[in-house]
Chains A and B, each alone.
Chain A
């Protein structure tokens, strides 16, 4: 993998369902993996930054895990609520482009149906 990739592109879930999506990134020269939430008509907001293999972060019903050896991160949302509807972006620095310059995936657009 040469870029940051996310799947699925979009997801519809019922209120109360739990869900998860994936971010893949180059595992060589890894620095950090970021997750952001982007609600419609708002700015992207940081959720988590993870740097160590095996890192797990949690904020309320949202959690994330990191596997730097295989180059993937999962974002989990437990008991989805309509206010969780947003696009979830992951980002990572890419080899040769500077450790502090983040490259984003295309995002996973989550819609939670009441």
Chain B
């Protein structure tokens, strides 16, 4: 496996279900990200784990819960989601060097989530 791998690629869940999205990076990067892509909206940064620190977008509802057990794995735990949470969820990783802002993101293929 190379690059950034996301599973599952497609997920359909009811509003009362609990599920998780998984992301794994094989690039030796030190930062991982969750982005949400909804129709006609920009990619929305949800969570960042960088150099073992977590940064979160305060507008993300608590029904989304990230977990980063190590620098290669990232999860997004989902519970009691709403239909408007249906979207493409992209994972990305990068190598962060200081505060340059020039760290290039490598994206996974995404997990398409449908909430019924």
Contacts and interface: CB of A to CB of B under 8 A. Distances in A.
Contacts of A4: 42
B102 to A, nearest CB: 5
A101 B96 CA distance: 10
Contacts of B109: 42-43
A104 B42 contact: yes
Interface string A101-114: 11111110000000
Contact of B45 (A32, A34, A89, A102): A102
Interface in B19-73: 31, 33, 35, 40-43, 45, 48, 50, 55
Interface residues of B, number: 28
Interface in A24-67: 31-32, 34, 36, 42-46, 49, 51
Nearest to A51: B102
Contact of A32 (B50, B96, B100, B107): B100
Nearest to B53: A98
Looking at chain B's contact residues, the main secondary structure is loop
A32 B43 contact: no
A42 B9 CA distance: 12
Given A43-B90, A43-B108, A100-B94, A106 B42 contact: yes
B64 to A, nearest CB: 17
Interface string B85-100: 0000010001010111
B108 A101 contact: no
A98 B42 contact: no
A107 B42 contact: yes
Contacts of A36: 105
A92 interface: yes
Contacts of A100: 31, 48, 50, 94, 96, 99-101, 103
Interface of A: 4, 31-32, 34, 36, 42-46, 49, 51, 89, 91-93, 98-107
14 contacts: A4-B42, A31-B99, A32-B101, A34-B104, A36-B105, A43-B107, A44-B90, A44-B105, A49-B102, A49-B104, A99-B100, A100-B50, A100-B96, A101-B33
